[in-house]
């Protein structure tokens, strides 16, 4: 990855952060796979002039109260406004948004390859911090795209289930972030 040394802002102004959920169980056809967008998020990337002496640092903060359901696919009927409202309430309850409004990610190590990078870090979610790995690649337009998977139960979140357990949300949810890098400061 060829990103010039400097400080960069990332977030909703220059990118998108998406969460994808998948259903499972014997009644999976009743539910919906969801595409959810974090509509309020911000972050910071620092790329040092000399990576041998200073690490690349990535930090992100996501407002969990501002998650928006973009679409629900599958299911025996289309996702209604009432369904969206019920899912929104359930998400807030499962994520304990009233007690832990924000999720944060701070890198602990960045390994840069030719056209990609691996970002290891700590994700704090519902008041618990666990390691998370993101696989990142640079796109042709200079933006970056990262992907990872959050296993909810590792953070003490019980994945949603309904119909007496016959419909379940897969424990792992996929996270995808695509963002431009808005330069804040270039090394002097």
Cα 140 from Cα 138, distance rounded (Å): 7
Contact 2, 155 (CB under 8 A): no
Cα 37 from Cα 185, distance rounded (Å): 28
Give the tens place of pLDDT for each residue, 124-152.
999 999 999 999 999 988 899 999 999 99
**Tokens representing residue 34 in the block:** 């969801």
Indicate if the pLDDT at residue 116 is higher than 60. yes
Cα 188 from Cα 185, distance rounded (Å): 9
Cα 101 from Cα 125, distance rounded (Å): 9
Indicate if the pLDDT at residue 30 is higher than 80. no
Average pLDDT of the residues in 64-88: 85
The SS3 call for residue 14 is coil
The SS3 call for residue 172 is strand
Indicate if the pLDDT at residue 164 is higher than 50. no
**Range of lowest pLDDT (14-18, 23-27, 41-45, 80-84):** 23-27
């Amino acid at each position: 990855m060829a990103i010039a040394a400097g400080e960069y802002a990332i977030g909703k102004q220059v990118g998108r952060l998406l969460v994808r959920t998948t259903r499972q169980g014997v009644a999976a056809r009743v539910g919906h796979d969801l595409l959810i967008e974090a509509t309020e998020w911000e972050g910071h990337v620092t790329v040092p002039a000399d990576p041998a002496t200073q690490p690349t640092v990535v930090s992100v903060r996501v407002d969990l109260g501002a998650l928006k359901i973009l679409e629900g696919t599958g299911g025996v009927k289309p996702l209604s406004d009432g369904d969206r409202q019920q899912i929104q309430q359930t998400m807030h309850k499962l994520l304990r948004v009233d007690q832990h409004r924000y999720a944060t990610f701070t890198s602990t190590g960045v390994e840069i390859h030719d056209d990609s990078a691996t970002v290891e870090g700590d994700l704090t979610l519902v008041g618990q911090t666990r390691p998370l790995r993101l696989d990142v690649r640079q796109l042709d337009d200079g933006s970056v795209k990262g992907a990872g998977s959050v296993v909810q139960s590792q953070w003490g979140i019980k994945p949603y289930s309904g119909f007496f357990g016959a419909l379940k949300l897969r424990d792992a949810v996929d996270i995808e972030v695509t963002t431009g890098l808005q330069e804040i400061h270039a090394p002097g």
